[in-house]
Structure 1
Amino acid sequence: MKVLVVGANGQIGRHMVQRLAKDEHHQVKAMIRKQEQADFFTHLGAETVIADLETEDDIFRATEGVDTVVFTAGSGGHTGADKTILVDLEGAFKTIEAAEKHNIKRFIMVSALHSDTPKNWKEGMEPYYTVKKRADERLRNSSLYYTILRPGWLTNEKPSGKIEASLHLGKDGSISRENVADIVVQSLGMEETFKQTIELIDGDTAIQEALSTIK
């Protein structure tokens, strides 16, 4: 399976590419914005493609020839609402549309916990959650075999390999970025995760078991 990682130079994206590059069952293509970012990925043995999420033609070219798209791009928590709309919303929309045009069936979106529950949105982050909610809705209404992953607050803790996963967690929590990367890799071919929106925090259950028994 050839996997395109959109947002490969982000913190989760880098962990993800590292894991996929070591997996003999997958090939990985890292979508980056600048040539100077390429060395990290080529050293791993990953293919790179330079593309701008704000440019439809770039995204169409980047998604060509892959079997699966993982969207883990984000404008960052400190950018303005305009950049969040361009990257997290319009960039996601363009990537979903490109995947459909290329007849790519599998699409994994890294979203955010509480995107569907405005009462839990943090003050000042309403534009971010609104954008994530709309991007998730667009993916759910697509023709793709999607998985939407909604991790809690992200940390740089070492990966435990253990999580809590549910369709409706009903609580806050944090999760290691490396755990999220492992979840993406393990969920690529797991039919239990197809067409599901999964909320995630660190927990006590091994990742594969947690994903296999989602409820």
Structure 2
Amino acid sequence: MKKVLILGANGQIAKLVSDNLLTQNMSQRLFLRDSTRLAVKNPQKQEIFEGDALNIDQLVKAMTGIDIVYANLAGNVIQEAKNVVKAMHQNGIKRLIWISTLGIYDEVPGAYGEWNHQQLDGGYLETYAEAAKIIENSDLDFTIIRPAWLDNQDEIDYETTEKNELFKGTEVSRKSVAHLVTTLLLTPEKSIRSSLGVNKPNTDGDKPAWK
């Protein structure tokens, strides 16, 4: 049974992915800063590791015996990206799924792109762009995922675009992003060294409908 390390395991998408994997032949190590915030649902498939992705020693230890890393991190993502790459190298792990955000390549067109810059410029977009560069400049087998603006619709309905394509749509459900992550964890040979934009089809506009 392969084992995935879920970094930022208390995140909304990460918890959906974790639930998805409970029905699959894969075990999970759930990494988060405060272990009291998360409960194990299946002790045979899940274990909790309390740690901080800014602490390289904790990260290296957490990756012992891991086959694939899924990072759902926030905060100081530049240093976290550096630490993830370093820890994976030290443990001989190659496959990484990294959650980023739309707009890191200035790939969002038109009025929506302008609106997205207004919302995310000033530290957020810039740091996620730099973190993505760190991942892309590594020799890891990465997939970067760039979701549109997220909602909690109970649906799986999405399409993807590649790095060199204009971003489509304005929104997507967390459940859809979790489905994509789960698919990549179960078929890790797919989308290697790719950066995927993720959106719900037919949601083009100047901003998400709910904004």
TM-score range, shorter chain: 0.7 to 0.9
Matched, 1:200 2:189: no
Is the CA contact (8 Å cut-off) linking 1:18 and 1:44 kept in structure 2?
no
1:153-203 per-position Cα deviation (integer Å, ceiling 9, x unaligned): 01101122x311111243441111111111011012243411111111013
Is the CA contact (8 Å cut-off) linking 1:2 and 1:27 kept in structure 2?
yes
Query: Deviation at 1:122?
Result: 2.5
The residue that corresponds to 1:187 in the other structure is 184
- Unpaired segments of 5 or more residues in structure 2? 203-211
* 2:171 alignment partner, one of 170, 174, 177: 174
Query: Deviation at 1:118?
Result: 7.9
Q: TM-score if structure 1 supplies the norm length?
A: 0.82
The residue that corresponds to 2:160 in the other structure is 165
Counting matched residue pairs gives: 189
Q: What is the aligned-residue identity percentage?
A: 25
Separation in 2 of the partners of 1:93 and 1:158? 34
**Corresponding residue SS for 1:9:** coil
Q: TM-score if structure 2 supplies the norm length?
A: 0.83
1:57-103 per-position Cα deviation (integer Å, ceiling 9, x unaligned): 111111121000001111xxxxxxxxx3x2x2211220121011111
Richer in helix (by share):
1
Query: Deviation at 1:10?
Result: 0.7
Is the CA contact (8 Å cut-off) linking 1:159 and 1:178 kept in structure 2?
yes
Q: Residue 148 of structure 1 aligns to which amino acid in structure 2? A: I
Separation in 2 of the partners of 1:124 and 1:201? 18
- Unpaired segments of 5 or more residues in structure 1? 75-83, 205-215
Matches within 5 A, 1:95-134: 95-117=84-106, 120=113, 121-123=116-118, 125-126=120-121, 127-134=123-130
Separation in 1 of the partners of 2:52 and 2:34? 9
The residue that corresponds to 1:9 in the other structure is 10
Q: What is the RMSD of the two structures over their aligned residues, measured on CA atoms?
A: 1.8
Is the CA contact (8 Å cut-off) linking 1:71 and 1:92 kept in structure 2?
no
Separation in 2 of the partners of 1:166 and 1:49? 34
Q: Residue 65 of structure 1 aligns to which amino acid in structure 2? A: G
Matches within 5 A, 1:141-152: 141-152=137-148
**Corresponding residue SS for 2:153:** coil
Is the CA contact (8 Å cut-off) linking 1:69 and 1:108 kept in structure 2?
yes
